[in-house]
Structures are given as C-alpha cells and as structure tokens.
Homo-oligomer: A and B are copies of this chain.
Amino acid sequence: MPDRKILLEESDIPKQWYNIVPDLPHPLPPFIDAATGQPGVGIVPRIFPKEIIGQEISQERWINIPDEVREVYRIWRPTPLFRALGLEKALKTPAKIYYKYEGTSPAGSHKPNTAVPQAFYNMKEGTTRLSTETGAGQWGSALAFAAGVFDLKATVYMVRASFDQKPYRKMMMNAFGAECIASPSNKTEAGRKILAEDPDNKGSLGIAISEAVEDALVNEKETNYAIGSVFNHVCLHQTVEGLEAKKQLEMVDDYPDVVYGCIGGGSSYSGIMWPFYYDQVTKKAPKETKFVATEATACPKVTKGVYQYDHGDTAKITPLVPMHTLGHDFIPAPIHAGGLRYHGISPIISLLTQEKKMTTEAFNQLEVFDAAKLFIQTEGIIPAPEPSHAIKGAIDEALRCKKTGEAKTILFVLCGHGFFDMAAYDEYFSGKLQPYEYPTEKVAESMDKLHKLYPWLNEVNKKYISCETY
C-alpha cells in the first residue's frame, strides 16, 4: 500500500523561485496607461518596493529566495503532497490522484508564500505599513501574518459580502495584529463615492483594490500596497508549490498527466503549473502534461470573458492590463468561493490560454460542493470552496479515466482548508445553495461600456495582444 503523505525535509524548501516569463511563447503585452492609450505602468512604481518591481518585469528564469524568507517558510513548508487513496477508492478509478495541500500554513492557504517575501522586501526598503484588499479573507490573513513577522502595520480592506459571511477571518487578521475594514468603506474617496450611490453595496475585489491602492497613494511616504494575486511576482512566489510537488512525485517515481487548480487571480494555479510547464518547454518532462484550470460559473472570466485590456480595479486607478475580463464594473453573485470572484486574471494565464498551453473549465457551486462533500468523507480534509473547484475537475477527470481505463496521474493543488467556510457547508447541506451562472449578455454590456470609455481600445488590443478581440 503506498503512503498517503509524501513529505520533504526543511532543507528541501526551494532556494529559488521559477519565473515563467522568459519561457513564454511570446513576450507579455505591456500595461497601458488609460490616460494616454500608450504603454505605461501608471501608479505601479509608487506603491511597490523596488525589489518587487524588479521581479515583476524580470526576464531571469530563476530568482533567489532570500534566507530570511526561507526561514519563515520553515514554519509550515515544505507542505505535504497527499495521494488521495480514499477518493480513488470511492471513485473506483484506475487513475492516481495526488494533491499538494497548502492548508497547513498559518493563514490556512497558499497565500503566505507571497505575503512573506512581499512583507520582507517592504521592511528591507523602509516601508512601515502595508495596505491591501481581500476577498474571502485568505489573502488578508496571510498578509496580516507576514506583516506581523516583520513588524509592519497592515490595513486590510475586505469585500463586504465576505466580511459579513466570514466574521472569523477578520478576527484572525486581528490576532496576527492587523486592522480589517469592510469595503466599500468611508475611509477612502473610492469607497465614499460608491457608498453615496449605493449604501448597501456588498463590495467586490475591484472596489477593495481601489480602496487599498488609494490608501497607499495617499499615505505614500510610509505605506505600500501588497497584492495577493494576478501580478507576475505573486505567481512567481507561489512556484514553491510546484517545485516541491515535483520533488515529491519523484520520490514515488510518478509524473502528472494533468495538473488541476482553481483560478481567482491565478496565483495558486501558476504556483503548481509553472514548474511542470518548465519541464515541457525545456523538454525535461517524461511525458506530455495537460494543464487545466477551473473557475466558477458565477465568475467565468476565462470561459465567458474577453481577452483584452481592462482595469484591474473598479475605480480605474490601475493601468489597463492585458487579460481575460468580465469588465471592471463586474459585481459577482454572492457565491461562497470569495477568492474566485475577481473580474480579471493574471496576464500570464491569459497569454497561456490564448496560446493553447492550458484550458479552463467552469463549475457551478452546487456541483463543486458535491465534490467537496465526497472529498471530506473520503480524505478527511474540509476544503475551502475555491479549491473545491479543482477537486471537481480532478474527480471528473478520474471518472473519465474509469470509462476509458486509462491509469492517468492527476495532480491538483488544494490551496486552502475550509474551516472558515462552515456557513457555506451549512447552506449546502440545508439545500439553500444557488448554482449561479453569469449571463453572457452582462459581459457584452460591460464591454460596450469599456469601449465607449476608451474608443481606441480595439486598436490597442490589436497592436499589443495581436488579435482584435471584441
């Protein structure tokens, strides 16, 4: 009988992150300044430390992990790789299923993998306070933890819908020493404007980003902004997931045929995927690996959204980013996977999708919780709703294998536990969950608005993304 858990030693924690950028099929399109329609990074240099900006645009394949960061990683890394023996047995599949479990971190998810280096670089460059946004609260509590480690203050703007649904997340941020504010708030101009129009606004990641960025700009002297996903440097830091998982699979002489994960901004999936993509590009892989992301039908940025330039936030403070988007004015349905409710996605995920290096599948939350239930009762871990999308994808793949008889190796990243999501499980078990599908017409409406706002957008799309997308 194989082991359920494949464990590494602390000395196995990677010494370098893997940067996919130089290995992409073609260069990443630039950010566009909305004021000019020309390439430009706008406020970006004002809100991040220099080291982070360097990583954001780096063309180096391997970037050293500072010793101080590896020292903090040791609190919970390396994380375990599980062989899902219970799930395989229940599915009666010939496939082998593995999952990289990131829920053992202080914040209960993969997010501290990037929160720690971000806090470290900020501390090193003299920042004393960080501002950020959070959806489900995973990122906010990770940054709260990391800020505490390096003696920085932290303010977290939390999407109102999640703030109300998950009160314990706020308390966790407080326990790590950070401040947590429901967004939209009256602390920022962006927030006040939205509340004036709609005092009951439930918020969105786009709005919370606007608030956090404004906070960093207004308090520029001592405050920087930290971001939990989407950006290259964030995805880069997450590659410890895939680098460890590869080593762990080597220990049992295995290699994935397919790699699943869920995408909100795309960082946890990039973390597991990039190192295996590297093997493909450099011809080091023993076989061809398929990369499949999963998203929510309530927020189908890749499967229903449009690949083009759009703002990363609702208040249009950020530059225009080349990505799949549902429109920066997107207001998500209150699904429980708060971390998947972002209107856009990492530009790298978008480029890889366009170049057919990966695909995305969308699931509604009812089928996702069905998958989570089976997982709980066979594997004994309560997953967060976000990675339950990946579980659903992996289960479907394992069931396809059952039909075809293929003994595929399936790997997915279980990016966080669901101990703070029990209210969601309660709704599911009491039959109250809505499936939610985002209507295609709504996407069209948002795109119309966007193109009215920036009449030159099609031209810019054509020039930099190399396709007229809308």
Interface residues of A (CB under 8 A from B): 1, 3-5, 7, 9-10, 71, 74-76, 86, 104-106, 108, 145, 148-149, 167-168, 171-172, 174-177, 373, 376-377, 379-382, 417, 419-420, 422-423, 425-426, 429
- Given A3-B10, A104-B104, A419-B419; A379-B425 close (CB under 8 Å): no
| A422 / chain B contacts, CB cutoff of 8 Å | 167-168, 171-172, 175
Using CB atoms, name the residue of chain B closest to A166. B422
- Given A3-B74, A104-B104, A420-B419; A425-B175 close (CB under 8 Å): yes
Give the CA-CA distance A149 to B105 in the complex, in Å: 26
Since A3-B9, A168-B168 are in contact, a sample of 9 more A-B pairs with Cβ atoms closer than 8 Å, ordered by chain A residue number, is A5-B10, A7-B7, A105-B380, A108-B419, A167-B422, A171-B429, A174-B425, A174-B426, A419-B419
Give the CA-CA distance A380 to B107 in the complex, in Å: 8
| A104 / chain B contacts, CB cutoff of 8 Å | 104
| A167 / chain B contacts, CB cutoff of 8 Å | 422-423
Q: Give chain B nearest CB distance to A282 CB in angstroms.
A: 31
- Given A3-B10, A104-B104; A176-B420 close (CB under 8 Å): no
| A1 / chain B contacts, CB cutoff of 8 Å | 71
Choose one: B4, B108, B426; the contact of A75 (CB below 8 Å): B4
Using CB atoms, name the residue of chain B closest to A426. B171
Give the CA-CA distance A1 to B70 in the complex, in Å: 12
The 10 closest A-B pairs by CB, nearest first: A106-B380, A168-B422, A171-B422, A419-B419, A171-B426, A75-B380, A3-B10, A4-B74, A175-B425, A174-B429
- 22 CB-based A-B contacts, threshold 8 Å: A1-B71, A3-B9, A75-B86, A75-B379, A75-B380, A76-B380, A104-B104, A108-B419, A148-B377, A167-B423, A168-B422, A168-B423, A171-B425, A172-B382, A172-B422, A174-B426, A174-B429, A175-B376, A175-B382, A175-B425, A176-B377, A419-B420
Give the CA-CA distance A379 to B105 in the complex, in Å: 11
Is the Cβ of A429 less than 8 Å from the Cβ of B175?
yes
- Given A3-B9, A5-B10; A145-B175 close (CB under 8 Å): no
Using CB atoms, name the residue of chain B closest to A85. B74
Give the CA-CA distance A174 to B425 in the complex, in Å: 9
| A172 / chain B contacts, CB cutoff of 8 Å | 382, 422, 425
| A10 / chain B contacts, CB cutoff of 8 Å | 3-5
Give the CA-CA distance A131 to B247 in the complex, in Å: 45
Count chain B CB atoms within 10 A of each CB in A1, A7, A177 and give the residue with the most: A7
Q: Give chain B nearest CB distance to A436 CB in angstroms.
A: 21
| A71 / chain B contacts, CB cutoff of 8 Å | 1
Is the Cβ of B3 less than 8 Å from the Cβ of A177?
no
Is the Cβ of A145 less than 8 Å from the Cβ of B380?
yes
Q: Give chain B nearest CB distance to A73 CB in angstroms.
A: 10
Give the CA-CA distance A422 to B174 in the complex, in Å: 10
Give the CA-CA distance A106 to B419 in the complex, in Å: 10
Give the CA-CA distance A7 to B382 in the complex, in Å: 23
Is the Cβ of B7 less than 8 Å from the Cβ of A175?
no
Give the CA-CA distance A3 to B7 in the complex, in Å: 14
| A419 / chain B contacts, CB cutoff of 8 Å | 108, 168, 417, 419-420
Give the CA-CA distance A10 to B429 in the complex, in Å: 34
Give the CA-CA distance A153 to B299 in the complex, in Å: 38
Using CB atoms, name the residue of chain B closest to A112. B380
Give the CA-CA distance A4 to B11 in the complex, in Å: 11
Give the CA-CA distance A417 to B419 in the complex, in Å: 10
Is the Cβ of B106 less than 8 Å from the Cβ of A381?
yes
| A108 / chain B contacts, CB cutoff of 8 Å | 419
